[in-house]
Structure 1
Amino acid sequence: MKYVILHADGMAAHPRQELGGRTPLQVASTPHLDRLAQAGELGLLASSPEQHRRGSGLMGTAILGYDPKKYYQGPGPFEAASLGVAVGEQDVAYRCTMVTLRADVQPGSKGGLNEIKKLGPHVVMDDATAGLISTEEARELIEAINEQLGSEMIQFYPGLGHRHLMVWGNGKSRAVCTDPQLLVGRPIAEALPTGEGADFLWKLMDASFQILRDHPLNEERSAAGQKPANCLWLWGEGRALFWPSLSERFKMAGVVVSQSDVHRGLGIMAGLEAVDGSRLAGGDLRTQAAVALEELVKKDFAYVHVELPDEVLYGSDVAAKVKAIEAVDRELVGPLLDGLAKLGSHRIVALCDFGNVQQGQAADGPGFFAYCDSTVSPSAGAGRRFIEADAQASTVPSRDATKFIVRLFAKGS
């Protein structure tokens, strides 16, 4: 028996006016996801995001069987695990996001980047991805930051694109920090770190701005009409906790297949082997499906995580989101289901959630799932689709996300 969790991260949404009151999933053609909804069990996943911290990796933590209220600190420790950075018990790992800040244009003011003297009033979050800066460019900037701000206590580590890592040795873990995606187009003054250790974090962020705003690479980006990565935004903080291993708990070998550092790290903390990102061909969906199937020849379980491209995930083009969802269904889900059938008996749960941020607001809404067991006769779900409305209309009771994995691996269920 082979076991698969397919996590379609951030593809659920609320109805959109520009789609005639429908969601992108409803508009998209997704015959393979719909096949799962029709053949198996479709329903909602019960979770309580209001009771614990929001952030990347929250649903992944729950669906792998870990109670977020106990095991989820924030995405920072996941980033560290993925990058192979050792984090001590008293250390705090922060997501370190490269962003573009600009001056808030006031009446009689010219506005612009050079008018900012320090972080505070009249500074606006212009772009929370620094114009989707490349990994190569970002690495040069992170190295410059670490050279000037790094110490025995503070270290910066390069990641992918605009997403990076900072580790604060023996640091404070109770500061309240904000996801920069929630601030796009808004003043940052009310969202700077607060609480224990906030002053130190604020000083680091301000110092990063002083270093980056005049960096030659940013001058080149500005001259080329690109947005400069002129500040590091610290958030997603957490200490690295010990997680009981899934492999030991269920006596099986498992793997995580994801382009996301957060979800690779999540899998590593759960005791899964992580597929090297170089095997995933820069995000090619067919390659991701092929790699997952190759791993399932040798292993019992695969956690396959996929999310939409950043330019789609954080952009406002809803038609692009529809096309991206269709690509996931056509190029990842279809080949994965066909390959699983050739491997023999299997169980798969496909889940979809709202992600963290949609249209500049904290995403909210229940995740939903389709569960299929190849050894069980298909259910009578003709016409049913893998969409939010059909999951909400299902007569299947809401399932506790943290307990679903027990059912996935249960004998005879």
Structure 2
Amino acid sequence: MKFLFLVADGMGDWPHEALGHRTPLEAANTPAMDELARTGMVGRCATIPKSMPPGSDVANMALLGFDPEKYHTGRGPIEAAAQNLQAGKDDLIWRMNLVTVEDYGPDGIMRDYSAGHIETEQSRPLVEKMQELVGNDTYSFVPGVQYRHLLVQKDGALDAEAELDINPPHDILDKPINRDMQRYSRNPEFWDLLQEAREILVRNGTTRANAIWPWGQGRPLSLPGFENLFGMKGAVISAVDLIKGLGFASGMEVIDVPGATGLLDTNYEGKVEAALKFLETGDFVFVHLEGPDECGHGGDPEEKREAIERFDSRVLAPLREALRNEETAWLVCCDHYTPCVERTHTKDPVPFIVNGPGCEASNLDNFTEKSADSTGIRIEDGHGLLPFAVEKTRK
């Protein structure tokens, strides 16, 4: 039997006035998800432990069956795993956004966590320039993709910055950055590095990136093997290094799809083709779509509705059709909510669908946050959802 786990990042939401007080999922036309819900099990899952912040790193680690409270060390280390970055056990790996700020000081405001969704061809030379001009024996700038990069601090886990609680930039859009500036400034060397990097970006002047924002720091990541845990040869398909890092760290195949952007215009058909190709020899594929989350951060409910419809019509529907005559198990959900009115993540338990041999039919008319509530099925620990789905889809 083949197992498909499809994740629409940040799909969960709250009712919005612009959508007639419906959520984007309620407003979207989603016949493939509705059919899957009607013939399968539907419920809610708490993907974020009570002790941890609601991030995609925490949530997707849980969705893949790993307890974040046991294995999570930070956002940066997960993305470092995607690049096969070799770091010392006491090194501190920071996720480093290229951002747009209005004043990089006590009176500053975070205007854009992604520097206008800067393209990799623009961002990579900037990060390489920072490494050339201000990188040193302690701090190394590591290029990633788009606005997502890394800063490695040698033996930083032994210093005070290891405990710095820095806001993810997407959590403080159009809000003051003074709290974080004060925390950065506790280490004069670190503070000087940030200012020097800013000068490089400002002098460049050809993009909206005018500052760096290190956050999500931690020691290198170590996960047990996915195949050993679940007895399935697995793969992950995503545009973002976060998901790729989880795949690499757990010994899964990581499939790159040309044209996968993490945005509304991603290569949906390429992801479907890659998933089907892998399943010719593999057992399990985790297909991740970032688009709904980015629309939530943008505060645009109409675009988010469109992102959900594309997930349904251009990912789930063609996969269902291609595998209609195959014995297949399905798990569909989001990792967390990204409400458009909040423009950041929340801890709301996410709606999910489990469908496959052995599943009881819910007979629901549709798949929404409300319909998932109505069944009374609730998974309290996010890392228990995949084992639950595996058990329920066995004959």
TM-score where L is the length of structure 1: 0.87
1:224-268 superposed Cα distances (whole Å, 9 cap, x missing partner):
xxxx21111001112123211011223331111111111111111
Q: Deviation of residue 328 (structure 1)?
A: 1.1
User: Are 1:56 and 1:355, in contact at CA under 8 Å, matched by a contact in 2?
Assistant: no
Task: For 1:129 and 1:61, locate their aligned partners in 2 and report how far apart those are by CA, in whole Å.
Answer: 23
Identity among equivalent pairs (%): 32
Task: For 1:90 and 1:132, locate their aligned partners in 2 and report how far apart those are by CA, in whole Å.
Answer: 32
Q: Deviation of residue 333 (structure 1)?
A: 0.8
Residues 1:231 and 1:357: Cα distance change in structure 2 (over 3 Å): farther
Matches within 5 A, 1:63-102: 63-102=63-102
Which residue number corresponds to residue 159 of structure 1?
A: 144
Equivalent pairs counted in the alignment come to: 386
Q: SS of the counterpart of 1:140?
A: helix
Alignment of 1:271 onto 2:251? yes
TM-score where L is the length of structure 2: 0.90
Task: For 1:201 and 1:49, locate their aligned partners in 2 and report how far apart those are by CA, in whole Å.
Answer: 31
Alignment of 1:189 onto 2:178? yes
Residues 1:154 and 1:403: Cα distance change in structure 2 (over 3 Å): same
Which residue number corresponds to residue 197 of structure 2?
A: 208
Q: Deviation of residue 404 (structure 1)?
A: 2.4
Matches within 5 A, 1:247-326: 247-278=227-258, 280=260, 283-308=266-291, 312-326=295-309
Task: For 2:344 and 2:128, locate their aligned partners in 1 and report how far apart those are by CA, in whole Å.
Answer: 32
Task: For 1:399 and 1:372, locate their aligned partners in 2 and report how far apart those are by CA, in whole Å.
Answer: 19
Alignment of 1:346 onto 2:349? no
Q: What amino acid is the match of 1:372?
A: N
Residues 1:17 and 1:310: Cα distance change in structure 2 (over 3 Å): closer
Which residue number corresponds to residue 122 of structure 2?
A: 137
Task: Tell which deviates more after alignment, 314-323 or 89-98.
Answer: 314-323
User: Are 2:62 and 2:382, in contact at CA under 8 Å, matched by a contact in 1?
Assistant: yes
User: Are 1:36 and 1:370, in contact at CA under 8 Å, matched by a contact in 2?
Assistant: yes
User: Are 1:176 and 1:195, in contact at CA under 8 Å, matched by a contact in 2?
Assistant: no
Q: What amino acid is the match of 1:324?
A: A
Q: SS of the counterpart of 1:76?
A: helix
User: Are 2:100 and 2:113, in contact at CA under 8 Å, matched by a contact in 1?
Assistant: yes
Q: SS of the counterpart of 2:73?
A: coil
Residues 1:195 and 1:143: Cα distance change in structure 2 (over 3 Å): closer
Q: SS of the counterpart of 1:94?
A: strand
Task: For 1:406 and 1:196, locate their aligned partners in 2 and report how far apart those are by CA, in whole Å.
Answer: 44
Task: For 1:18 and 1:3, locate their aligned partners in 2 and report how far apart those are by CA, in whole Å.
Answer: 37
Task: For 2:339 and 2:151, locate their aligned partners in 1 and report how far apart those are by CA, in whole Å.
Answer: 22
Q: SS of the counterpart of 2:332?
A: strand
Task: Tell which deviates more after alignment, 26-35 or 173-182.
Answer: 173-182
Q: SS of the counterpart of 1:51?
A: coil
Task: For 2:330 and 2:129, locate their aligned partners in 1 and report how far apart those are by CA, in whole Å.
Answer: 45
Task: For 2:183 and 2:49, locate their aligned partners in 1 and report how far apart those are by CA, in whole Å.
Answer: 21
Task: For 2:82 and 2:60, locate their aligned partners in 1 and report how far apart those are by CA, in whole Å.
Answer: 14
Residues 1:145 and 1:355: Cα distance change in structure 2 (over 3 Å): farther
Matches within 5 A, 1:380-391: 380-383=362-365, 385-391=366-372
Residues 1:62 and 1:44: Cα distance change in structure 2 (over 3 Å): same
Larger radius of gyration: 1
Task: For 1:193 and 1:36, locate their aligned partners in 2 and report how far apart those are by CA, in whole Å.
Answer: 49
Task: For 1:35 and 1:275, locate their aligned partners in 2 and report how far apart those are by CA, in whole Å.
Answer: 28
Residues 1:311 and 1:4: Cα distance change in structure 2 (over 3 Å): closer
Q: Deviation of residue 179 (structure 1)?
A: 0.7
Which residue number corresponds to residue 108 of structure 1?
A: none
1:80-121 superposed Cα distances (whole Å, 9 cap, x missing partner):
111221122111111110011224xxxxxxxxxxxxxxx322
Q: What amino acid is the match of 1:284?
A: N
User: Are 2:44 and 2:379, in contact at CA under 8 Å, matched by a contact in 1?
Assistant: yes
Residues 1:32 and 1:201: Cα distance change in structure 2 (over 3 Å): farther
Q: Deviation of residue 69 (structure 1)?
A: 0.9
Q: Deviation of residue 340 (structure 1)?
A: 2.5
Structure 1 unaligned segments of length 5 or more: list them.
104-118, 222-227
Matches within 5 A, 1:237-252: 237-252=217-232
Task: For 1:57 and 1:397, locate their aligned partners in 2 and report how far apart those are by CA, in whole Å.
Answer: 22
Structure 2 unaligned segments of length 5 or more: list them.
none
Q: Deviation of residue 312 (structure 1)?
A: 2.6
1:363-382 superposed Cα distances (whole Å, 9 cap, x missing partner):
23111210011x23761514
Q: 2:168 aligns with which of 160, 176, 179?
A: 179
Q: Deviation of residue 386 (structure 1)?
A: 1.6
Alignment of 1:334 onto 2:317? yes
